[in-house]
């Protein structure tokens, strides 16, 4: 038996997120089905990040165990033949049998894109959050500085998650505008439930002038979800990648 690791990119538009559930089709179940067809074994992948409904990924990570003789590196090509074109394996390799994508130190990077212009752009509608009201990205940059570092992010965690601690470390949080697109890129050692989308929703309030940048400091200190901004829509969010300290 061997353990195979997959780097997976997907367009989350038509999926109810990563994790298998009853409400609709998920990336995890489509992968399990394609792997079963390919390997003639019951396969249950273990994913690193359980992305929400509508969230995209360029580099989510998953592992599975198999008896197949197919070399791990070749599985990516064979699997892509059996996957819908909104899911594509970027890489496959073999890892030790005890290698687990969640129970080890990792750094995750997410990117959130806001299309800030007068009219929507049909060519970007699936991968950006459209906003008509002008955002002040300089103020958003200022606000972002308060979020970087180790903090108790309880104010940025949706109800319904059971975690021992709400303390996380954000290594970097950049806000950059290019043409009409504001890109918010955040890297950290882990994120709470909806944390990235709530941080973005809060930065949007700052960009609109509703909160002054320094108010973000108070929001963190409050440790209360209700003082932070709303959760930004899923379509603008992409899991860029996960780095493991091997």
Q: Is the dihedral of CA 45, 188, 234, 225 positive or negative?
A: positive
Give 117 or 177: the residue with its C-beta nearer to a second copy. 117
Q: Binding to a second copy by residue 123, rule CB under 8 A?
A: yes
By CB under 8 A, which span of 46-54, 86-94, 134-142, 169-177 interacts with a second copy?
86-94
DSSP assignment of 90-107, as one string?
A: EEEEEE-TT--SSSS-EE
Binds a second copy by CB under 8 A, chosen from 41, 121, 224, 243: 121
Q: Is 82 in the site for a second copy (CB under 8 A)?
A: no
> For residue 7, what are the β-bridge partners?
61, 91
DSSP code at position 12: G
N- to C-terminal Cα distance for the chain?
22
Residue 213 φ/ψ, nearest 5 degrees: -50, -45
- Which H or E run includes 81? none
Whether 153 and 167 have beta carbons less than 8 Å apart is answered as: yes
User: Which among 37, 52, 65, 105 is annotated as catalytic?
Assistant: 52
**Residue 71 CB neighbour total at 10 angstroms:** 12
Which of 9, 34, 182, 206 touches a second copy by CB under 8 A?
A: 9
In the complex with a second copy, the residue whose CB is nearer, 47 or 229, is: 47
User: Does 93 help bind a second copy (rule: CB under 8 A)?
Assistant: no
Q: Note if 52 is an active site residue.
A: yes
| CB 238 to a second copy: min, Å | 7
Would you count residue 18 as binding a second copy (CB under 8 A)? Answer: no
- Is 127 annotated as a binding-site member? no
Neighbours of 242 (CB within 10 A): 18
Structure token pair of residue 31:
């992968």
- Among 3, 5, 56, 141, contact with a second copy (rule: CB under 8 A): 56
Which secondary structure element, helix H or strand E, spans residue 18, and what is its range? Answer: none
**CA 86, CA 162: separation in Å to the nearest integer?**
31
Task: State which of residues 63, 89, 131, 242 lies at the interface with a second copy (CB under 8 A).
Answer: 89
Q: Closest distance between a second copy and the C-beta of residue 153, in Å?
A: 27
CB-nearer residue toward a second copy: 116 or 155: 116
Q: What residues act catalytically?
A: 52
Binding-site annotation: residue ranges for substrate: 110
Q: Which residues are near a second copy by CB under 8 A?
A: 9-11, 56, 58, 76, 80, 85-91, 118-123, 125, 127, 238
């Amino acid at each position: 038996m061997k353990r195979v690791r997959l780097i997976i990119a997907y367009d989350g538009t038509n999926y109810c997120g990563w994790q298998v559930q009853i409400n609709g089709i998920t990336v995890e179940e489509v992968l399990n089905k394609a792997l079963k067809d390919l390997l003639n074994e019951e396969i249950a992948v273990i994913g690193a990040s359980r992305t929400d409904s509508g969230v995209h990924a360029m580099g989510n990570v998953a592992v599975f165990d198999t008896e197949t003789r197919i070399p791990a590196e070749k599985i990516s090509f064979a699997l892509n033949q059996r996957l819908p074109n909104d899911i594509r394996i970027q890489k496959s390799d073999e890892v030790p049998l005890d290698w687990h994508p969640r129970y080890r130190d990792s750094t995750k990077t997410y990117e959130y894109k806001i299309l800030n212009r007068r009219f929507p752009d049909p060519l970007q509608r699936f991968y950006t959050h459209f906003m008509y009201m002008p955002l002040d990205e300089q103020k958003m940059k200022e606000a972002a500085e308060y979020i970087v570092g180790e903090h108790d992010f309880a104010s940025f965690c949706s109800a319904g998650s059971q975690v021992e601690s709400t303390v996380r470390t954000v290594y970097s949080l950049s806000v950059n505008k290019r043409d009409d697109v504001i890109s918010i890129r955040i890297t950290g050692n882990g994120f709470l439930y909806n944390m990235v989308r709530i941080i973005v929703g809060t930065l949007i309030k700052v960009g609109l002038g509703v909160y002054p940048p320094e108010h973000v400091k108070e929001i963190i200190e409050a440790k209360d979800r209700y003082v932070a901004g709303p959760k930004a829509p899923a379509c603008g969010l992409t899991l860029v990648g996960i780095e493991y300290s091997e």
